[in-house]
Amino acid sequence: MTSACEATGGLSLTLKCLQCGAMPLHRLDTGWSCSRCAATYPVTHGVARFVSSEQYVGSFGYQWNTFAKAQLDSANGTTRSRDTFEEKTGWRVDSLRTLRVLDAGCGMGRFAEVCADAGAEVHGIDLSSAVEAAARNLSHRSNLSFYQADIMNLPFADESFDAIYSIGVLHHTTDTRKAFLSLTRLLKPGGRMSIWVYSTENRVRFGGEVLRLITPRLPKSMLLKACRLAIPLYHAQRVPVLRTITAIALPTSLNPDPEWRWLDTFDWYSPRYQWKHTFEEVERWFTEAGLDDVRRGPVAVSVRGTRAA
């Protein structure tokens, strides 16, 4: 059976040297190399490496290697990730069959699994070491490849993908708009793109915004332990007075699943960057990128569009 490492070198995708721009890179036993400038890009633990560090997203590497299977449909026996994918992209998963798809910010692979199950050829990228959890989770699937790479500077040729999606990722980069626009060159004519980013209308109460001035700077293990308070607080909030106090002073996730509640709370308080946007703002990005048939999804802020054929 094909491993994630073998798949990363085996699917028919042209890779570009990030140092000199030459294409294609050549496959070695241990990774990829550029014949023009001799740059090398190793493949380790089933992941092709195009960055040397996690930069500003270490919290996500820590998060998804801790909760590596919590949101994986095949592990929890639900269709929650599949349902979330269809809701936030506006695409039916069965429409992705045979398409080459880019998962821009794959985390531990929850949506990559959904697309792979639908019969797509999936390429998942993530700047954080979360991509290692994705490779471990899905290494037995031959239609998946994983790369540790920066969304702002990806090693793919222009017009490489039939579909590109990014769910809950771009707003954690240094510049959401710039990250979005950097992806659009990768879309084939007639290809489609869908993103979901945080909405300005869905801010956590004041206390959460104040706490975020501090929490991203805390040691990740300390913050993770603190966020576990979300599990018992969920039950405490059945008392009206406590519900009011915690909602204002110490907001936590209200997900009914205890592990997801803990995870979601950490996901809110840990990232360094966490921008928020409006539908109108994101729609302008799609128009700026030359995409057509721009549509809003039912969830704020999800927007999708297509590149003219």
> Could you state, in order of their start, the residue ranges of all structural domains in the chain?
4-199+276-307, 204-269
User: Considering only the top CATH level, what class is 4-199+276-307?
Assistant: alpha beta
- At 239 the pLDDT is 82
Complete DSSP assignment for the chain: ---HHHHHHHS---B--TTT--S--EEETTEEE-TTT--EEEEETTEEE--SS-TT-HHHHHHHHHSSSTT-HHHHTS-HHHHHHHHHH---GGGGTT-EEEEET-TTSHHHHHHHHTT-EEEEEESSTHHHHHHHHHTT-TTEEEEE-BTTB-SB-TT-EEEEEEES-GGGSS-HHHHHHHHHTTEEEEEEEEEE--BGGGPPPHHHHHHTTTGGGS-HHHHHHHHTTHHHHHHHTTSHHHHHHHHHHS-----SSHHHHHHHHHHHHS-S----B-HHHHHHHHHHTTEEEEEE-SSTTEEEEEE--
Q: What is the pTM of this model?
A: 0.94
Amino acid occupying residue 95: S
The answer to whether 94 and 115 have CB atoms below 8 angstroms apart is no
**Structure confidence at residue 203 (pLDDT):** 60
Q: Tell me which residue of 75, 144, 61 sits closest to 108, measured CA to CA.
A: 61
φ, ψ dihedrals at 216, nearest 5°: -65, -15
Q: Please report the pLDDT score of residue 1 as a whole number.
A: 33
Give the per-residue pLDDT at 206.
Answer: 63
Q: What is the pLDDT along the chain (309 residues), one digit of tens a residue?
A: 334 434 454 457 999 999 999 999 999 999 999 999 999 999 999 999 999 999 999 999 999 999 999 999 999 999 999 999 999 999 999 999 999 999 999 999 999 999 999 999 999 999 999 999 999 999 889 999 999 999 999 999 999 999 999 999 999 999 999 999 999 999 999 999 999 999 998 665 567 888 999 999 999 999 999 999 999 999 887 788 777 888 778 899 989 999 999 999 999 999 999 999 999 999 999 999 999 999 999 999 999 999 998
